A and B are shown apart, each in its own frame.
Chain A
Amino acid sequence: MTTVSMVQLEEEIVRPRRDPLLIALWVALFAVALIWIAPFVFISFTALKTGNEIMTTNAFAPPRVVAWDNFSGAWVKGNFSTTFFNSVIITVIKVPLGLMFSAMAAYALARIRLRWNKLLLVFVLFGAMIPFQVMLAPLFTLVNSLGLIDTYIGIILPYLAFGVPYQVFILHGFFKAVPKELSEAALIDGASHFTTFRRIFLPISLPVLAALLILDFVATWNEFAMALVLLQDKNMWTLPLGLMSFQGQFSNNYGQLNAAIVMTVLPAVIVYLIFQRYFVSGLTSGAVKG
């Protein structure tokens, strides 16, 4: 009993209750949050309104007649079943695979003494800094010369390539910080690096891996520019490409346009709501440590 009231007392000294500044702050933050969420509301409402209502009612007025056919119409016109499928295939293959490759490379660079470690690391990190948009044209010619335009492999390979730098960077830092005792014991017992990697390093880095997985999932899912260049066949388009094409072709059907936006954005939002904390930890683990 006494401890509780002691704590309460302390709080009251340091921070008087109902600090007007805090209340004002909260109100401000809340108002701004409303502004931040307004676009989502507007888009969702427009997606559910009929063409007539869109042109006559207020932006934030909920639809009087719910036009579900905007969604079905957009789904068909925008070829969503195909683009969704393609996005899933590409993401589901690339993300775990890329992470595995990056983890392997990061482990090697962090824990196996080679002459070239430092150099290779710089070589790889270099790629994290370069905007890949400058390489779209040669990338296209390269993939084309391999006959891989409009194929899953043709886009997964470049995605893998560009995912390596950031992931290796984060994992390298993480692996390097693992105490030597852990791996030394195993190595002395004759375990290969492969085993050490699999049995020791992978398990302890699960949180980081999970965070990177989530971040990479979203980045791959949302990728646009490379897909624009490497996937010309509309049957191979990913969700972002499908949306852009929809905008270009059906920009005057406002209800369907907004429905298309909602359908494109929804998967990422759902993933986010479920795996929230991994996003944050992924961002901060590498960046803050530097």
Chain B
Amino acid sequence: MGQYQELRSLSQMGLVRGVPQPEAVDFLITCFGAEPEASRAVDLDIFDSARDSADPLPLLCLRCRISHAFETWLLVTYKRWREKTGIELGAMASYALDDDGELTIRSGPSERAPFTYAQIASLPAGLISPFSAEVLRSYDPALCGLPHWAKLKIQAHNELKAYFRQHGLLLISDWALLRNTSPTKVRQACEQHLRSGDTIEVLCALHRHYCDPYDFAKLKHKQKTGKASGWQPDLPFLTELAPAEDTFTTLDRLKAIAQAIRRFMTEKANQSLDQAAEAGYEAADLASLSSTTDNDSPSPQELKALIDVALQRAMDQLMPQVLASSGSNTNLYRCLWGGWAEGLKQRPLANRCGTSQGTVSKLLKPELQASAIATAAAVELKRHPAFASCGQSVEAAERLVTALRNHLLEPEQEGDVAPLRRWVQNHLSQS
């Protein structure tokens, strides 16, 4: 079934499914003599019909069309991040695929009106429901194609942003991405990942002119709305950016650059993961920590005892606060730390505690706690002459903290339990 006559919608079961719209089919056959293939020309024809008539059906066709664009965008994001973050397609879709195909729209506390272009254009400013109505009422065909506009709008959806943030993901708009990417990186990204008929020189020149007008327009947007998010380029902005070009072409070029940057960043992110896997874990080396070598310096056993005491004191001081600072998630927090202390990895931890891997990685940060404990212990150890050099040298300070942190997280011998895990086990068993 085509994109103008099937609405991709979220079912009550939380699944995305296609809902045929027979009235949309009738409208298309009346207008086009057949069910047309999706294209920009057809989008524009139907959009003109919607603006010129009081009939809700042309808008319904466009609502269907948008829902396909939403679904594609959501699926790409979901497939990439579901494993790592535990995002759910149903939850994501609830923000965008909330259109049930009704031919009326809520126009007041208990009133409904025909779902026409005139009606949605007359509704007060602010996010309106369904989201497709918000996309369509703000759409200007001179700017870009309708599917792309749908993508731009979803990138600026504040509630969806908040959902992603809860799962450790950041929804960054193309506009911020373009602003924050250096000319050098734009060129590299375009050289490697450009999918456009334009030359790299043309695109780099456009990007060079982008930042100042963007900063100015963003500032105006903040002053007007009080928000940093939600800005979209308008015709004056695009005209100022490239006066000799039509605005549609300019936006298309900006989109091509942003996509090239995203591909470039994706490739780099994948390489970083590979490199991190190869690099492995930095070895703990408590034996190298002493800064004195004369005969009066403590023996390795004495140093070890000093370190153990300092670490124990720092754990006693810091960890109870960490384990207690759980707010409304006390049980979940205890479950996560308890599982971690037993040596469970992220996936089994998430299963045991009935949560997502994303939540595990967000709430449970033993490396961070280990660094804080190591620093606190190092502050105490620094008072001892054997460790005095860490007050005078960046390298010595960092070497000491790194070694202490690694010692907290790694067992000294095979079969041992790492000190931080052991502390958490003891603490949880007593409380």
Q: Do A and B come from one complex?
A: no
Q: Which residues of B contact A (CB under 8 A)?
A: none
**A contacts, CB < 8 Å to B:** none
